Amino acid sequence: MKRRFRGRISLFVIAFLLAVALFADFLANNKPIFAIYKNETYFPVFAGFGYATGLVTPDPVFIHADWRTLEFDFAVWPPVHFAPGEIDLENMKAIAPMDFGESADPEHHHYLGTDDIGRDIFSGLIHGTRSALMIGLVSMFIAGMIGVVLGGFAGYFGDQQLKIRRSNLIATLLSIVPAWFYAFFLRSEALSSAFASGFLNLGMQFIFSFLIFLAIVILFNIAFYPLKRFPWLSGHVEVWVDIGLSRLIEIVVCIPVILLIITIDSFSASDPENYQSGSILYLVMLVIGLTAWTVIARLMRGELLRIRNSEFILAARSLGYSDWRILLRHAIPNGMGPVLVALAFGIAGAILVESSLSFLGIGASPDVVTWGSMLSRGRRDPDAWWITVFPGMAIFVTVAAFNIFGEAIRTASDPRSGN
């Protein structure tokens, strides 16, 4: 990687984008970062995080206050003085970059102009970075976890190496329906409320449901444990992991992702509370993650089919290591090279999918600023070129950076490239 100039540049660009996404509230906001007002010290941006999480009660003095009109004793403002989606009431039209418009305060002008309803383009680009990277990283994290686990199992165990006792197999099959009923069906209302409240709460509720599902499966296996005394039930059967995964991949790849998201969006639009909360964006991440794992699973399966009989695997077996230890500590880490490349390309693809959907008005709710939704505003005023050019450049640079970075990883990990 150090010998590849394009790879280093793409890594620097990705690091810069991550920094912008992380500190977006400190770069573009209608509140000061630090302020002294009537001899009292305030940290409005930090307090905003507390308001969002419910840990801090809003000060009644500032609930409906316009921070830009307050006479502070001292204040440190973000470089961009507008929040994403905020409409400049003095300039409710498309203003060209570096144009003061109707504002007499030079500190409050729009560096990259505004869209057709007076929203700051620069602020939208900064906060749109967070939405784009969050969608790409979260969706591919989900896809990576599923693909690595399933592909690793299929490639390492195949159809003959993984065996299970008949009593455990029967117990597991019988436990699936009640486990699903108690873990997900009865908790459907709690999961729906968590979906509307935010991604973090949804993740915690889903983990709790998964633990309930796993606990019920374990309890069934414990209850069926005495059956191993019967000769037939104590015997072992082969689990066809490889062929089962192959058939599952063939089913998943037939699912049209964009049509699935459009269908879900149409149902969610009938619930205005959930639709406006931004939770649809989380569902887009989940759908992309649950459908993009097939490429990663195939790559991981192919790598483990290649290395499962290598010398270091045979040496680990001769030392008495269990199959699970060999799989998790030796096989999967040595097969991650192609997976990292697929993840880098997958992040770029997820960003493009979300941008395309937002451009069509699908996916993100209207109160969430994304690069695709900013591009969509450009269709209303073709003469305002800046509304289209700047978001388009942001999408191009981000997707190109991840694609170049993935190509650099592929070349660096290829032994035929001379490394």
Runs of H (alpha helix) within 162-292: 166-180, 188-197, 199-223, 231-234, 241-252, 257-268, 272-276, 279-291
Domain boundaries, the chain: 1-27+127-162+239-419, 30-77, 163-236
Q: Which helix (H) or strand (E) holds 154?
A: helix 121-157
Which CATH architecture does the domain made up of 1-27+127-162+239-419 adopt?
Orthogonal Bundle (1.10)
Query: How high is the pLDDT of residue 215?
Result: 93
| Distance in Å from the first CA to the final CA of the chain | 10
Residue pair 121/113 in contact by the 8 Å Cβ criterion: yes
Q: How far apart are CA 270 and CA 107, in angstroms?
A: 42
Q: Read off the tokens for 156.
A: 């390492």
Query: How high is the pLDDT of residue 278?
Result: 52
Query: How high is the pLDDT of residue 131?
Result: 85
Query: How high is the pLDDT of residue 357?
Result: 81
Query: How high is the pLDDT of residue 200?
Result: 65
Q: Quickly list DSSP for 107-150.
A: GG-BSS-B-TTSBBHHHHHHHHHHHHHHHHHHHHHHHHHHHHHH
**Running along the chain, 419 residues long, what does each successive block of 10 average in pLDDT?**
80 92 87 81 69 54 67 81 78 71 59 80 88 89 91 85 82 90 85 67 81 91 84 80 87 85 70 53 83 90 87 88 86 86 89 83 71 82 82 91 87 61
